[in-house]
Amino acid sequence: MTASTPNLRELDVSFWSALVNCAHAEILSHISNPKCDAYLLSESSLFVWHDRFLILTCGTSTLVDAACYFIDALGSSSMALVSYQRKNEYQAHLQTSSFTDDVGKLRQRIAGKACRVGHLDSHHHYFFCSDSDYQATKDDCTSELLMYHIRGELADYLNRGSQTCDELCAAFGFKHLFPEFEIDAHLFTPSGFSMNGLWGKYYVTLHVTPQSDKTCASSYVSFETNLDLARYSQSLLGRLLTLFSPVSWDIIRFNTNDSTQGFPAHVRLGHGSLTTEQGYHIGFSHYQQLQTEVLIPELM
């Protein structure tokens, strides 16, 4: 947001509730500290700082409508920068819009550039960044880890069902992974799990979508943080990959180093990068474990 814009944290919760409703989601719970407010949503998460906000949604939610609501409410002249991102979907035919549709809505309100990183017939991500004179600071960084087809003991544990939220938090080892963070978590019925964590201005968020009552074969797990992982006390992405043991995974980095410390044996199937005019160096990589995946036929 521009310097003349009011403190976003002073906006009433009804504003943020209306914003997430535009994405066909709702606020389930929230935690706060002197730097940030974190809201758990029925479809992922919302984080609000005094000068910016971040919303993540999943499923068939309409994230672009939430972004448009915000721009319309505060005015495009109040936007120091608008950044919009969308990944390829498991079931694109169920989506109500495409990235091209989304960009069309955004460009009705604010000018910007859009691009795709990755092959259309494989893992890929879309980015939109508004035209502006804003310049990112060196500590303005984000790391995203997207894991597909989780396996192993934790996947088997998730398949058993009947866990409590506290039991899942213990199984994920949040106290060891994020010892400094206050954690807010929610267990969905019949399946699914979401977590937000706050530590000062830093956030972590993790979402688990098993996709099936009987198998984690098509499961999806997303993790995101604005921690500078090069300075964090542990190999966080490596520990998460060991915990969930996905068949493949994507990593998207904004102004962070391209490190594979702690990763399981793998091959990087593709990678790409771009640097925006605002000083964000964005890196995208798609990885796969070296072990052969055993494919089990499913009755149709």
| Side-chain-facing half-sphere of 110: CA atoms under 13 Å | 28
pLDDT of 2 reads 76
Q: Within the chain, where are the H helices?
A: 13-22, 63-74, 99-107, 153-160, 165-172, 174-177, 236-244
- Other CB atoms within 10 A of residue 115 CB: 13
Question: Which pair of tokens denotes residue 109?
Answer: 């309100």
State pLDDT tens for residues 112-154.
999 998 888 888 889 999 999 999 988 899 999 999 989 888 8
The pLDDT score that the predictor gives to residue 107 is 96
Q: Which stretches of the chain score pLDDT less than 50? A: none
Reported as half-sphere exposure (CB side, CA atoms, 13 A), residue 70 has a value of 28
First to last CA, the chain: 50
292-295 LR contacts (CB < 8 Å, sep 24+): 293/149, 293/247
Residue 199, classed as helix, strand or coil, is strand
At residue 227, the pLDDT reads 93
pLDDT at 224: 97
SS3 content of the chain, % helix, strand, coil (to 5): 25, 35, 45
90 vs 148: CA distance, rounded Å: 10
Alpha carbon distances (Å) from 212 to 78, 252, 263, 294: 43, 26, 27, 18
Distance CA 6, CA 78 (A): 9
**Residue 214, pLDDT score:** 53
Give residue 216's pLDDT: 53
Q: Where are the domains of the chain?
A: 8-289
pLDDT at 233: 61
Question: Which one, of 47, 102, 108, 114, lies nearest residue 76 by Cα?
Answer: 108
Note the pLDDT of residue 43.
Answer: 85
pLDDT of residue 191: 79
The pTM score is 0.92
Instruction: Please determine, looking at this structure, whether the domain spanning 8-289 carries the CATH number 3.60.90.10.
Output: yes
